[in-house]
């Protein structure tokens, strides 16, 4: 693979390095040499030596931490951009029929390869991902992620009611399959397992209770699900669980709101829900492009006193691009009267996401001994961004120009564990 490490030596990259401090404040260190050691970790960051030759001369480019997508559905790569009147219609008309095809392992393998290829093409080096109800869909994604040495959290979707044939779980079998998959994949290299109730309407009490039991039995396993995305969905949950205070409270009653648990959307939540997320150390996966695309609502950044990170939510989300996600988050926040600085947006799509998911190995960004997951961004790829970049008078202006005008054409290299990744061919 292009850019593989020499097992006897060090690979050196030269360019301007984007870093963040513990509060998410951005800074650029101009004209630095980034050393990547055999095994895929960063060495010291330093100034170039006189006359030094480097393997990758990326001057005039920005070497930045790899993006982290905390909520995406790999089977939905084939329904991205499908029109529907809302979330529930979209699931019924597009998502569930697509996911039924994953009964064929070959379909899962092809989708996993294409999905991770698209992520890498757009500069995403790590992700938390939903698979289908089929156990082999997890195997397909994890094998492809392992081949690329990516840090990925993923799990089999649990859904033992209100689901179509081909996706409807047998409750006890689904829980046994989950434990088997944990044994196979959790903490295997850079992979982690996520216990994945699809959402409360498709999970029986027994399945949710069993999911929580498994979470308690296997420390470090993540829980991920959806909550409070759509008003019709919330009304459905209320009809199924009339005694629970809120949608999030349903999951909490079963013991699923836990440290590092990931809750997709969190749009229509109240003060008690927000306090619960903060108290439990849970993470809201903010999905601005899908929230707009499906007309679900706006995440309230003004009230976000808990951990939150940005996500594509492909395929309800309309793009793999972190730039599109950050721009949509910025616009959503502005409509709510909140100004999110460019560095803040970037931080919540990189280091902050890693911290809150417990990925300490990539939370420090470009720093010695951390995993060498990074992107090389070339602002000169397109004339308009090149001009805007050169005229910018501050780092904030430059980062914001990339957010507004950037796309996959500006990702010159995506590097995972020190290796340059090549896009997946058709």
SS3 316: coil
Fold (CATH) for 10-66+365-421: Urease, subunit C; domain 1 (2.30.40)
Instruction: Note whether 244 and 250 are within 8 A (CB).
Output: yes
Domain ranges of the chain: 10-66+365-421, 68-361
Kindly report the CATH class assigned to 68-361. alpha beta
The percentage of the chain sitting over the pLDDT mark of 70, rounded to a whole number, equals 97
Residues 6+ apart with CB under 8 A from 223: 194, 195, 196, 197, 211, 215, 256, 257, 258, 261, 262
What's the rounded Cα separation, in Å, for the pair 426 and 424? 7
Mean pLDDT of 129-139: 98
Task: Retrieve residue 49's tokens.
Answer: 């030596």
Q: What is the pLDDT of residue 368?
A: 79
Question: Of the candidates 237, 161, 172, 262, which has an alpha carbon nearest to the alpha carbon of residue 211?
Answer: 172
Preceding omega of 315 cis (within 30 degrees of 0): yes
Strands (E), 149-261: 151-155, 157-158, 191-197, 222-227
pTM of the model: 0.95
Q: What pLDDT, in 10s, does the model give residues 137-196?
A: 999 999 999 999 999 999 999 999 999 999 999 999 999 999 999 999 999 999 999 999
Residues 6+ apart with CB under 8 A from 56: 3, 11, 12, 13, 14, 376, 413
Strands (E), 140-273: 151-155, 157-158, 191-197, 222-227, 262-265
Q: What is the pLDDT of residue 3?
A: 43
Q: What pLDDT, in 10s, does the model give residues 242-294?
A: 999 999 999 999 999 999 999 999 999 999 999 999 999 999 999 999 999 99
Q: What is the pLDDT of residue 9?
A: 76
- Residue 58's pLDDT band, with cuts at 50, 70 and 90, is very high
Predicted confidence (pLDDT) at residue 1 exceeds the cutoff of 80? no
Highest mean pLDDT among 8-12, 84-88, 174-178: 174-178
Q: What is the pLDDT of residue 277?
A: 98
- Residue 8's pLDDT band, with cuts at 50, 70 and 90, is low
Alpha helices in 241-372 (DSSP H): 247-253, 271-280, 288-293, 322-335, 342-347, 351-357
Q: What is the pLDDT of residue 356?
A: 92
Q: What pLDDT, in 10s, does the model give residues 345-401?
A: 999 999 999 999 988 777 678 887 789 999 999 999 999 999 999 999 999 999 999
Q: What is the pLDDT of residue 424?
A: 58
What's the rounded Cα separation, in Å, for the pair 133 and 95? 12
Instruction: Note whether 362 and 335 are within 8 A (CB).
Output: no
Predicted confidence (pLDDT) at residue 309 exceeds the cutoff of 60? yes
Predicted confidence (pLDDT) at residue 2 exceeds the cutoff of 50? no
């Amino acid at each position: 693979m292009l850019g593989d490490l020499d097992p006897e030596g060090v690979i050196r990259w030269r360019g301007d390095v984007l870093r963040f401090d513990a509060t998410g404040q951005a800074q650029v260190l101009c004209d630095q040499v980034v050393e990547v050691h055999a095994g895929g970790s960063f060495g010291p960051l330093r100034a170039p030596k006189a006359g030094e030759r480097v393997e990758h001369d990326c001057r005039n480019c920005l070497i930045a931490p790899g993006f982290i997508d905390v909520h995406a559905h790999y089977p939905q790569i084939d329904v991205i951009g499908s029109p529907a009147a809302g979330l529930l219609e979209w699931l019924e008309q597009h998502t569930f029929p697509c996911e039924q095809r994953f009964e064929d392992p070959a379909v899962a393998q092809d989708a996993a390869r294409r999905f991770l290829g698209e992520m890498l093409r757009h500069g995403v080096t790590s992700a938390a991902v939903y698979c289908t109800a089929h156990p082999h869909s997890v195997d397909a994604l994890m094998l492809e992620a392992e081949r690329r040495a990516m840090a990925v959290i993923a799990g089999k979707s649990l859904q033992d009611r209100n689901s179509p044939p081909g996706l409807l779980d047998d409750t006890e079998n689904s829980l046994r399959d989950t434990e088997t998959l944990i044994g196979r994949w959790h903490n295997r290299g850079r992979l982690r397992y996520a216990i994945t109730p699809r959402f409360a309407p498709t999970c029986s009490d027994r399945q949710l209770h069993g999911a929580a039991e498994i979470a308690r039995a296997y420390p470090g396993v993540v829980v991920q699900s959806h909550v409070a995305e759509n008003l019709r969905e919330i009304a459905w949950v209320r009809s199924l669980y009339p005694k629970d205070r809120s949608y999030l409270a349903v999951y909490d009653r079963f013991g699923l709101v836990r440290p590092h648990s990931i809750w997709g959307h969190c749009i229509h939540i109240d003060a008690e829900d927000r306090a619960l997320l903060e108290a439990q150390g849970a993470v809201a996966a903010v999905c601005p492009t899908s929230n707009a695309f499906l007309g679900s609502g706006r995440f309230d950044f003004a009230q976000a006193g808990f951990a939150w990170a940005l996500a594509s939510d492909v395929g309800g989300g309309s793009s793999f691009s972190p730039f599109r996600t950050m721009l949509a988050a910025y616009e959503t926040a502005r409509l709510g009267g909140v100004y999110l600085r460019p560095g803040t947006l970037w931080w919540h799509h990189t280091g902050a996401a890693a911290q809150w998911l417990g990925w300490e190995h990539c939370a420090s960004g470009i720093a010695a001994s951390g995993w060498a997951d990074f992107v090389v961004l070339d602002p000169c790829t397109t004339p308009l961004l090149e001009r805007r970049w050169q005229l910018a008078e501050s780092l904030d202006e430059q980062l914001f120009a990339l957010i507004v005008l950037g796309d996959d054409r500006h990702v010159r290299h995506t590097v995972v564990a020190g290796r340059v990744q090549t896009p997946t061919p058709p």
